[in-house]
Amino acid sequence: MNEAETPLKRILAIDPTSKGFGYIVLEDSDFLVDWGIKEARDNKNTRCLKQIRYLIELYQPHVVAVEDCSKHGTRRSERVRDLVAGIIKLAEEQGIRSRQVLRQKVRQAFESFGATTKHEIAQAIARRFPEIADRLPPKRRPYMSEDARMAIFGAAAIALTVLTTV
């Protein structure tokens, strides 16, 4: 069996935010190993990459997954795009495969569950993984900032999308 045929065993998925990142470690598509939010105040990308390096060393993932924000028209800031590039480079340096997932692919992966909005996708994930259901923030109102906990669900959506497109 070559590397392309090797089943994904453990995925570390990362969803960058303006204040740091959310992450999830998923094993064999149905076992949550760890999840959380990491913040970085100063020198954000350097601090985030240091924390991600620690997570890689701790969990030894087979794949590191992130949103593909390299396409023209992405709504991600330049700092976040640089962070994603740094995450991919870090994975390569560690000899770990990386996968980039378009936001459109995430939505397509969850359409069969009747989930099209970010909150609906998060609700579908909370139903699948009850251990993180208590982290699901209330639906965001137009005047509200996005709750940092949504990054956990963003990371989970990326990981599950990678698993469905293997």
Domain residue extents for the chain: 10-164
What whole-number distance in Å separates Cα of residue 71 and Cα of residue 131? 34
Query: Between helices 44-59 and 78-93, what is the axis angle to 10°?
Result: 30
What whole-number distance in Å separates Cα of residue 30 and Cα of residue 25? 11
Mean pLDDT across 56-70: 94
Could you tell me the two tokens for 36?
């959380």
Say what percent of the chain tops pLDDT 70.
93
Q: What pLDDT, on a 0 to 100 scale, did the predictor assign at position 1?
A: 38
pTM of the model: 0.89
CATH 3.40.50.300 assigned to domain 10-164? The reply is: no
